[in-house]
Structure 1
């Protein structure tokens, strides 16, 4: 039996209406990108991942995505099945938009700030 109680630990208490995510972002802090999973396994991107650091099997304009993350609610993610293509909005990271990467090129050199 399931309950729809709005009381207790972890309960959501949401007022009627709409919430606009990242409403304070300017046009130059927004970009729309097309993502294609060219791999043979699902790929998942979390809400605060610096997009150029995403799995290399996910094709999209990484140069345009430098300093951006997906425009989705905090703590959520988007999943891309093999062969799936989707157009999604991204928003700029705040601050200097400098995010040292953890990806390595095929020659073992670290990719920093989306620049090889």
Structure 2
């Protein structure tokens, strides 16, 4: 059996989710990785069954109840992002506040970030960059995350994919760029570093 990287990742999510299901069935409360695995597994399964974007989001929100998790997990889990395959192509779904934590946690509570005073950090210094104009033909908002291979983005985005081969968005890790229906914008891409792989 030969698996592409995406399929290998899917099996890893399933294995983690299955372990989480066993722990929950045994009456154990879930830690952060277990909660994330269950949410991602539910969203991937919904997409596999042909669900819409909204239905996939709903499946993720229904996967784990706040009382299922250990203390502090709700504060840590502010967002879950995962790529799913829908009818109109691959989409990255950002599920914000999946455990309905409500008010933000205390500044020094679990998951808090304390940023020190330091000079601005220049990202991707000295790396090759290009600019491409991208137009969305989708009827929904399309988002592309920072490190996604740009030539593989949603098929409803019109761009020069040959030129985008080996590049990603030149933005901070974990962030994204979005296109509203019919929107066109020019983005800067940066070449991947390290050894070449099948997605670069």
Residue 195 of structure 2, aligned match among 86, 93, 96:
96
What is the deviation of 1:94?
Answer: 1.5
Q: Does structure 1 residue 75 correspond to structure 2 residue 198?
A: no
Residue 19 of structure 1, aligned match among 86, 111, 121:
121
Kept after mapping to 2: 8 A contact 1:39/1:58:
yes
What is the deviation of 1:16?
Answer: 4.8
Q: Does structure 1 residue 56 correspond to structure 2 residue 155?
A: yes
After TM superposition, which residue ranges in structure 1, 4 or more long, deviate above 6 angstroms? 1-4
What is the deviation of 1:58?
Answer: 0.4
Aligned residue pairs total 97
| Structure 2 stretches lacking a partner, 5+ long | 1-102
Kept after mapping to 1: 8 A contact 2:105/2:112:
no
Residue 135 of structure 2, aligned match among 19, 27, 36:
36
Larger radius of gyration: 2
Q: Scaled by the length of structure 2, what TM-score is found?
A: 0.43
For 1:73 and 1:67, locate their aligned partners in 2 and report how far apart those are by CA, in whole Å.
Answer: 17
Residue equivalent to 1:103: none
Q: Scaled by the length of structure 1, what TM-score is found?
A: 0.71
| Structure 1 stretches lacking a partner, 5+ long | 101-112
Task: Report 1 or 2 for greater relative contact order, CA contacts < 8 Å, sequence distance ≥ 6.
Answer: 1
